[in-house]
Chain A
Amino acid sequence: MYIAVSLAILVTMVLAIVRALRGPSVYDRVLAVNVFGTKTVLLLSVIAFLYGRPDFLDLALAYALINMVGILAVLEFFQNRTRNREEASRD
């Protein structure tokens, strides 16, 4: 059963990668990164059970906690860029 679930997650990872490669907008790529991040957490948890070493869930926990930081950095990046453009057009 673990294998079936991990296969489903792997297929979804491929779909996310296809989305990341095809774009078309940069936001689609960021979305794919986000989907890929959550899928990695799921895959790591399932693999920990498949291995029979559930004490290695620390890695999944780390990703669950800090995956969002990258996406928030993207939000701030776009926000600052938009603001700079507005200021430049006002000048």
Chain B
Amino acid sequence: MIDLAVDALSWVLLALGGICVLIGGVGALRFPTFYTRTHAASLTDTMATLLVFSGLMLQAGFTLATLKLLAIMLFLLLTGPTATYALANAALESGLKPEAPTIPGRTRKKADS
């Protein structure tokens, strides 16, 4: 019973993680400017990592693999946002201005008012 519940929970986590990965990937492709794309990409760095690795850890049980998974998850959670920061900073320093895009055919009423 407990086993089944743990299995089901890990599957739910894995599925949610997969969905997060996909959403982040689509965002990194579809968003209009560089800085918005970093925002989308960071979703795959943090939330997806958390969900997928939690799911895998539940599957692994109490083994050395769980410890390794925990280490990988922690390091990814540390390095992912740092790398994104470094990249955004490099772009800013080299003179890429964060500007709101003007999309033709679409008026941005809220921003104007």
Binding site for B on A (CB under 8 A): 1-2, 4-5, 7-9, 11-13, 15-16, 18-19, 25, 27-28, 30-32, 34-35, 38-39, 41-42, 45-46, 49, 54-55, 57-58, 60-61, 64-65, 67-68, 71-72, 74-75, 77-79, 81-82
Contacts and interface: CB of A to CB of B under 8 A. Distances in A.
Contact of B96 (A1, A27, A57): A27
A75 B18 contact: no
Interface string B60-85: 10011100110110011001101110
A75 B86 contact: yes
A11 B49 CA distance: 16
B7 to A, nearest CB: 9
Contacts of A4: 14-15, 18
Interface of B: 11, 14-15, 17-19, 21-22, 24-26, 28-29, 34, 37-38, 41, 44-45, 48-49, 52-53, 55-56, 59-60, 63-65, 68-69, 71-72, 75-76, 79-80, 82-84, 86-87, 89-91, 93-96
